[in-house]
A and B are shown apart, each in its own frame.
Chain A
Amino acid sequence: MKKNIAVLMGGRSLEREFSIKSGQRVSNALKKLGHKVIKLDIDESIVDNLNSEKIDLAYIALHGKDGEDGTIQEILEVLNIPYTGPGVYPNVVSFDKIVSKQIFMSLDIPTPPFYFLNTSSFRELGSSKLLPFITKKIGLPLVVKPSAQGSALGIRIVNEKESIPEAIISALSYSKKVILEKFIDGVELAVSIIGKEPRILPVVEIVPKKKFFDFESRSRTGETEYFVPARVSASSDKKVKEVAIAVHNALKCNKLSRVDIIMDRKEEVPYVLELNTSPGMTDTSLLPMSAEAAGLSFEELVDEIIKMSL
């Protein structure tokens, strides 16, 4: 049945451009599916805009701040507008990688060992003096990343302890808290899960030309190779999927998620890096790639996402 669907995109996040690409592609698919599409950029008029038309469903094609941190979900809850993707709680906890990693650890879900520090602790508590201790505990190389930022922005792999301060300053440009995490030399994998009865789509293996899957590796065609299903053993594939579904359930992502995992090359331990509540929907994004391998066209994927959300 034809529905009025507001596609929420753009916004003030650093991933605005990426969100617009996702939103445009989703809008085109929804039109092909016969729905009426209302494209909405997220700004100070969003509440008025959502109120001014009859909207059956909001499709959240936002990435990063406001779209993946529970903000827009809470607004839509207040306005009683159904929306795609997980609810407020999974967004709030997954957006802060420190919170979600703490949850993973409490449930014995493997995640790379880490410590976190925040801006005020540097300013008020002399946390900079902790670096030698952290380096000793985690070892080098280590990954320095902001606690709340998508698309790998602000992430650096540090090989020498002298480079840690600059990496911390960099990460704190994106977030108020910084994570110093053990670097895992492994295979990068993305596991997409959809449906109220969770369905795990084929695992995507990511092979960036650079040392890790950074912003440019994600956004430039040809910078990264992808293989679906991932070229891992059947037992590893099983382990990865088990961990992914455990994460999906732990964070109560009842409709949709993409879990990013790094599989240790030696011990084949699937370490969970993070969970994404609003996976990219561009023509080079991981969820549509995975869906296609499962036999779902982009329109069918969008159709499934909206049907489970209405």
Chain B
Amino acid sequence: MSKKITFDYWEHLYSNRTEYMFSSEIRDLLSLSARPDIISFSGGLPEVRALSFQRLERYIKRILKTNGDISLQYGESEGYYPLRTKLIEVMKLEGLDTVEEDIITTTGGQQALDLLAKIFIDPGDIIITESPAYTGALNSFRSYEAKIIGIPLDKDGIDTSVLEKKLKELGDKKARVKFIYLVPNFSNPSGVTLSLQRRKKALELAKKYNIMILEDNPYGMLRYKDKPIPTIKELDSKGDDHTVIYISTMSKLFAPGFRIGWIVAPHPILEKIILGVQSSILCVSTFSQRIAYEYFSDPSWRDNIDEFIKIYAKRRDAMINTLEESFPEGTSWSIPKGGFFIWLKLPHYLNTKEILADAVRNNVAFVPGSAFYADERGINEARLAFCTENTERIEKGIKILAGIIKEKIKLYKSFK
């Protein structure tokens, strides 16, 4: 008697949302990139080695000596108040004025996304994103069963004319649109910065259609060129100040290992978020928050940022110069003025998932573009992270990729 095999006895009990949580073959291919012999352009890993470990040791010793018991206890769901005071100073450097009561700390920027998805998204709700968009955000929204609509971007960020048409169309259909998700500075994955004009336009459209903007700004302070552009939150604060929810993280300003991010939002929204925190993690790690407080209380943190910028800018230049020298005609890439990523476009007939297989065999890894789209697009695109490898390895890795791509273009042309 033939029997259907059951791998998971409880398969019939899982929630529908687990259908939207999955791994992919990209993840499996990228598992190879953890090997030291692989030149990795895949993960956006901050250069934490540039931090002073002696200073960190001092902070930790001081915390344990003076407030050891409290720092190892549960804390406030809103986050450690003195740290929130420090965050006001940090945001002020980018021109954003706020108060402690409008801030809540989270376990990394990723939890901020999850909390906001949790309190705003019902199954079938529409979330608008720039496209390509940060995979972690797409996954978070999808896990709450949102329908994601991606709006294309160009060198000035999300195309607001396409956005306007789409919002009108959705408005006519009375669709339940909840928010527009944007990473305006040196976006992950595209590296593109949203122009001031389009920031204003996106805000105007959000207000017109009565939806929110979720502004995610992890890279804003890692600007290598030109002056900062006001955040959308700052633009909003000059008006009624209730349209933009702002998210950021310490992962790029300090270190991702402490897992601290934060949200700035109007008070009623924060109240709901706090309920979300209380029903999930109770509070962000007290110990991590106190270490972060020490870090941002030490004036040397600004020197660390300068050092980070110096390192990343050099790596970005190495990647762009080598792309220009070695990549064939028919390919193009973004030129970011900050952040961690360059977005690569190849001819339409090349599939970057398959090029990754070839690249990994030749000791180079990157993330194929399809990972950053909510639909089937991005097949011939890729994200290259320049933040992780040193300049020598960047040059070597890009040249290897160029060789693989040239060979494939030549092969394709032979069929014509």
Contact = CB atoms under 8 A, between A and B. Distances in A.
Contact of A228 (B3, B358, B414, B415): B3
Nearest to B360: A14
Interface string A32-52: 000000000001000000000
Contact of A128 (B11, B350, B414): B414
B410 interface: yes
A79 interface: no
Given A16-B31, A153-B25, A219-B28, A284 B414 contact: no
A169 interface: yes
Interface string B340-359: 00000000011100110110
A169 B412 contact: yes
- The bracket for how many chain B residues form the interface is 20 to 34
B4 interface: yes
A144 to B, nearest CB: 12
Nearest to B350: A169
A170 B32 contact: no
Nearest to B8: A221
A166 B349 contact: yes
A84 B24 CA distance: 30
Contact of B35 (A12, A14, A216, A220): A12
Nearest to A282: B7
A76 interface: no
B105 to A, nearest CB: 34
Contacts of B32: 12, 14, 16
Interface in A218-236: 219-222, 225-231
Contacts of B357: 14, 153-154, 173-174
B93 interface: no
Interface string A284-308: 1000010001000000000000000
Given A14-B29, A220-B22, A230-B2, A172 B411 contact: yes
Interface string A19-43: 0100000000000000000000001
B5 A227 contact: yes
B361 interface: yes
Interface residues of A, number: 44
B23 interface: yes
B377 interface: no
Contacts of B411: 119, 122-123, 128, 168-169, 172
A24 to B, nearest CB: 13
A14 B361 contact: yes
Nearest to B361: A14
B22 A283 contact: no
A176 to B, nearest CB: 11
A242 to B, nearest CB: 20
A166 B351 contact: yes
A174 B410 CA distance: 17
A223 to B, nearest CB: 9
A139 interface: no
A205 B35 CA distance: 36
Nearest to A13: B32
Contact of A219 (B3, B23, B351, B361): B23
B408 interface: yes
**Most chain B C-beta atoms within 10 Å of own C-beta, residue among A119, A126, A166, A172:** A166
Interface string B245-281: 0000000000000000000000000000000000000
Interface in B310-361: 349-351, 354-355, 357-358, 360-361
Contact of B11 (A119, A222, A229): A222
A122 B414 contact: yes
Nearest to B27: A17
Contacts of A113: none
Interface in B389-416: 408, 410-412, 414-415
Contact of A170 (B8, B23, B29, B351): B351
Contacts of A169: 349-351, 354, 408, 411-412
Contacts of A164: 415
A128 B358 CA distance: 20
A211 to B, nearest CB: 16
A215 interface: yes
A131 interface: yes
A298 to B, nearest CB: 13
Nearest to A170: B354
A280 B114 CA distance: 35
17 contacts: A14-B32, A15-B28, A128-B411, A128-B414, A128-B415, A153-B357, A165-B412, A168-B415, A169-B350, A169-B408, A169-B411, A172-B411, A173-B354, A173-B358, A204-B5, A216-B25, A226-B4
Given A128-B415, A168-B411, A231-B2, 4 more contacts: A122-B414, A126-B414, A166-B351, A169-B354
